Amino acid sequence: MAFGSSNPRTAAPTQTTAVYDEGLRAYMLRVYNYMGSALVITGVLAYLVAQMSVVTGSSGEVVGLTSFGATLFGSPLQWVVMLAPLALVFYFSFRIHKMSAASAQIVFWVFAALMGISLSTIFIAFTTESIARVFFITAATFGAMSLYGYTTKRSLANWGSFLFMGLIGIIIAMVVNIFVGSSAIQFAISVIGVIVFVGLTAYDTQRIKETYSASMDGEMTTKSAIHGALRLYLDFINLFIMLMQLLGNNR
């Protein structure tokens, strides 16, 4: 009798599963690290640009724009600030497979920086305290839903069409409300937006998990991780914006 021997029929699959799980954890950690770094870049730039753009009173209220702020938000340049991140994310999504990993990283960091400039209006419009409060609420909600998407054994594929229709509805309603200016419509957009992006967080996390393959080379793994980070970054930012509309305090 040989003590400590193992069944050769089960040893290899067990080892393969362990290697796969370890690789998957490393891959998802990479996705979250890219996403977290992008959020830091966005947040720091948003704060700095806001500080450079406004003149505040003794109690912290905004009393006017600096020359820098007037140039950035009071001229046609404001449309560049608003639309540049959208143009870049479309470019990134369509070109990611043809880019090198290094180019994908550069585009991703540039996108995060442009989003920071665009989102500086949040620091202008809302108090710092309410921004911090909503950020932590967003982080907790995002973390819980992303964890659910990662750990659940239930397929969330059926959520995709429902969430996509909700997203299209939000975009159409936002365009309409630019001309209508209804606070009721804005409230409805924010409530529905929270529901949609909470769902997308879980859905996208599961999709990102499913895209991992142990056979991917280093270049492909990096590009796939960056693309996944972009999806989760957009879920987080949009959830944060919708919650700010509901819970933020104006300056």
pLDDT tens sequence across 57-88: 666 677 677 888 888 887 788 888 888 888 88
Contacts of 110 (CB under 8 A, 6+ apart): 88
User: What percentage of residues in the chain have a pLDDT greater than 70?
Assistant: 92
Q: What would the two tokens of residue 90 be?
A: 């479309």
**Residue 54: exposed, middle, or buried by beta-carbon count in 10 A (0-12, 13-18, 19+)?**
buried
Work out the angle at residue 220's Cα, subtended by the Cα atoms of residues 218 and 221, and round it to the nearest 5 degrees: 65
Model pTM above 0.75: yes
Nearest to 72, CA basis, from 54, 95, 56, 91: 54
Q: If you write DSSP's letter for every residue of 137-170 in order, what string do you get?
A: HHHHHHHHHHHHHHH--S--TTHHHHHHHHHHHH
Element containing residue 180 per DSSP (H, E) = helix 159-180
pLDDT digits (tens, 9 = 90+) for 104-135: 999 999 999 999 999 999 998 899 999 999 99
Nearest to 124, CA basis, from 77, 61, 68, 40: 61
The whole-angstrom separation of Cα 160 and Cα 144 is 19
pLDDT of residue 5: 44
C-beta pairs of 106-109 under 8 Å, 24+ apart in sequence: 108/34, 108/38, 108/226, 108/229, 108/230, 109/38, 109/41
pLDDT of residue 182: 86
Nearest to 74, CA basis, from 44, 54, 58, 51: 54
pLDDT of residue 153: 93
pLDDT of residue 19: 79
Sign of CA dihedral 213, 21, 210, 36: negative
The whole-angstrom separation of Cα 21 and Cα 111 is 31
pLDDT of residue 86: 85
CB of 123 closer than 8 Å to CB of 47: yes
Q: What would the two tokens of residue 170 be?
A: 């939000």
C-beta pairs of 57-66 under 8 Å, 24+ apart in sequence: 60/127, 60/251, 61/251, 62/124, 62/251
Q: Which residue has the tokens 């599961």?
A: 206
The whole-angstrom separation of Cα 231 and Cα 93 is 10
pLDDT digits (tens, 9 = 90+) for 37-51: 999 999 999 999 999
- Give 12's Cβ-side CA count (13 Å radius): 2
User: Where exactly are the structural domains of the chain?
Assistant: 18-247
User: What is the average pLDDT across 145-165?
Assistant: 93
